[in-house]
Structure 1
Amino acid sequence: MLFNLQRYSTHDGPGIRSVVFLKGCSLNCRWCQNPESRSRQQELLFDQRLCLSGCSLCSERCPHAITRTQDGLTIQRTLLTMADYQALNGCCPTGALSVCGNAADIDAIMAEVLRDKPFYTRSGGGLTLSGGEPFMQPELTAALLKRGREAGIHTAVESCLHTPWSYIAPSLPWLDLMLADLKHVDEARFKQWTDGSAKRVMDNFRRLAAAGTEITVRVPLIPQFNADRAAIRAITDFAADEIGVKEIHFLPYHTLGINKYHLLGAPYHASRTPLDDPELLTYAEDYASAKGLTAILRG
């Protein structure tokens, strides 16, 4: 189950890349900028601003879940079935209503990815799997990476590493680079903000390091969560001292994904103000550099 395939990306690994976004994630981060990626199932996005007042195409196709009132559409998402998503896909003339997520087989995905192989060859780029969490679909992830390696292109995965190790291990023979989030090293804090376990993530980092996997650590800096000097030091120390990575990326919090919650009919529980703390970002870069890491500021 995919929700996007992005070509000509330059920020998801070396060179020019195609990024395949897989649906499904085991975390529930408050600040998630891709909330449409969390569920492994298809979801309905609705933008009232684009809805035509006289149109009833969607409500005619799914009258049990979608009704039109004077105030616009009322959507009962919990009543939608797989057949409803198929009926609704592409039915809206303005794009106000759209289905997020589509099933595609490996051959179709790789045919799209390999269209740009000349660009990968010239730039040292290739295929990146992202999400969501790619390892939530472990068989597909391993198969895509294997096909990428067999095609002679660089392979990478963007992961939160919050899955059983048994989901990750089958992909390692075909993986060139792991781009992995290290959000916090404090178990209680991590649990409070993500509904997950920092221990699981850190254990997977240790296993990757022991397996000799090339890892780039990514740190989303989130206000009130980890955007402070103590958290940055603890995260950087783990990256440098325990797993011995060479590169760390700091990603300041932004709010570009807030509207997606509106489209999903879901609440947003993080700050509505982007991180604006140049002094903290300078500190993060300087501290990581002092620990022998290549520090890169993204965004």
Structure 2
Amino acid sequence: MTAVTTGRIHSWDLSTGVDGPGTRFVLFVSGCPLRCLYCANPDTWHMRDGRETTVDEVMAEIEKYRAFITSAGGGVTITGGEPLLQPAFTGEVLRRCGEAGLHTALDTSGFLGARATDELLAATDLVLLDIKAFDVGTYRKLTGGSLAPTLNFATRLDRLGVPMWIRHVLVPGWTDDPSAIDALAGFVAGLEAVDRVDVLPFHKLGAAKYGALEIPFPLKDTPTPELELVERVRDQFRGQGLKVY
């Protein structure tokens, strides 16, 4: 008897333009090893809070929207939480989507990149790689984790030729240091597999979730970035010849 692959998911949604090309079926898995101060989805931190499901059940849900997402040039994106906390489940969903002719994207911090097998990555058409900070100390304070695994993962993806969109959340006072941005842009410019860079302004849309969970929102007093700051940072990436959206 073939083993049934299961995973724990938070929810799913449909989105356009921000989770990969076209209109996407976005699957939010549960569980994350990092605790980013600006996290908009604290309700996805713990696997125990997710709903157990099978890959077959996920594929049946995706199939309902196949015509819609394919006609809009889209596909399926797995996000979270952190999808690589459940590599077997994530890899099986990606593989099944690929076999079904659907474009696949993996949204990850890269912190658990070592858990992604070559087979998983072979089934991934695009990686949305969140590089949250480029200064080692800032990364640790901001996320509770280490920067090195993410950079190692980026280098591995480049070696394998897996297309990447690099994401960087711009948080005033945290991730806007000009020298750190220049260093990050230089690193990214050296990766031939990078198609584009998304500079994402920090927002507080998830603040209500912290209240509902009765936990403090660490950056409640941090301002959202002014347009001038956002454009300065985007221009720093453009200055390295990178496409910025």
TM-score by length of 2: 0.92
Match of residue 36, structure 2, among 29, 32, 36: 29
Once the two structures are superposed, residues 144-187 of structure 1 have per-residue CA deviations (whole angstroms, 9 ceiling, x without a partner) of 00110011110001111111513353411110000010111221
Residue aligning to 1:86: none
Answer yes or no: is the 8 Å Cα contact 2:32–2:85 preserved in 1.
yes
Instruction: Tell whether 2:155 aligns with 1:206.
Output: yes
Residue aligning to 2:48: 41
Structure 2 CA distance, aligned partners of 1:210 and 1:106? 29
Instruction: Tell whether 2:108 aligns with 1:159.
Output: yes
Residue aligning to 1:175: 124
Written as runs of structure 1 = structure 2, the 5 A alignment for 1:104-183 is 104-183=53-132
- Letter of the aligned partner of 2:173 in structure 1? Q
1:274 Cα deviation after fit? 3.8
1:273 Cα deviation after fit? 4.2
Residue aligning to 1:227: 176
Once the two structures are superposed, residues 250-294 of structure 1 have per-residue CA deviations (whole angstroms, 9 ceiling, x without a partner) of 000001111111111111212434423222211122222221111
Structure 1 CA distance, aligned partners of 2:229 and 2:186? 17
Structure 2 CA distance, aligned partners of 1:263 and 1:200? 32
- Letter of the aligned partner of 1:166 in structure 2? R
Answer yes or no: is the 8 Å Cα contact 2:170–2:225 preserved in 1.
no
Match of residue 293, structure 1, among 228, 242, 245: 242
- Secondary structure in 2 matching 1:294: coil
Residue aligning to 2:13: 6
Residue aligning to 1:18: 25
Q: Among the aligned pairs, what percent are the same residue?
A: 33
Residue aligning to 1:187: 136
Q: CA 1:237 to 1:206, structure 2 compared with 1: closer, same or farther past 3 Å?
A: same
Once the two structures are superposed, residues 195-250 of structure 1 have per-residue CA deviations (whole angstroms, 9 ceiling, x without a partner) of 10001111111111111100000000112211232222122111112565231000
- Secondary structure in 1 matching 2:219: coil
Which segment is superposed worse, 178-187 or 241-250? Answer: 241-250
Written as runs of structure 1 = structure 2, the 5 A alignment for 1:236-247 is 236-242=185-191, 245-247=194-196
Answer yes or no: is the 8 Å Cα contact 2:83–2:108 preserved in 1.
yes
- Letter of the aligned partner of 1:281 in structure 2? V
Residue aligning to 1:58: none
Q: CA 1:22 to 1:184, structure 2 compared with 1: closer, same or farther past 3 Å?
A: same
Which segment is superposed worse, 7-16 or 200-209? Answer: 7-16
CA RMSD of aligned residues (A): 1.5
Structure 1 regions of 5+ residues with no counterpart?
A: 43-100
Q: CA 1:235 to 1:265, structure 2 compared with 1: closer, same or farther past 3 Å?
A: same
- Letter of the aligned partner of 1:213 in structure 2? V
- Secondary structure in 2 matching 1:203: helix
Once the two structures are superposed, residues 67-124 of structure 1 have per-residue CA deviations (whole angstroms, 9 ceiling, x without a partner) of xxxxxxxxxxxxxxxxxxxxxxxxxxxxxxxxxx211111111111111111232222
- Secondary structure in 2 matching 1:13: coil
Q: CA 1:36 to 1:208, structure 2 compared with 1: closer, same or farther past 3 Å?
A: same
- Letter of the aligned partner of 1:195 in structure 2? G
Match of residue 232, structure 2, among 262, 276, 283: 283
Written as runs of structure 1 = structure 2, the 5 A alignment for 1:79-90 is none
Structure 2 CA distance, aligned partners of 1:280 and 1:21? 30
Q: CA 1:187 to 1:153, structure 2 compared with 1: closer, same or farther past 3 Å?
A: same
Aligned residues: 238
- Letter of the aligned partner of 2:151 in structure 1? M
Structure 2 CA distance, aligned partners of 1:231 and 1:25? 25
- Secondary structure in 1 matching 2:64: helix
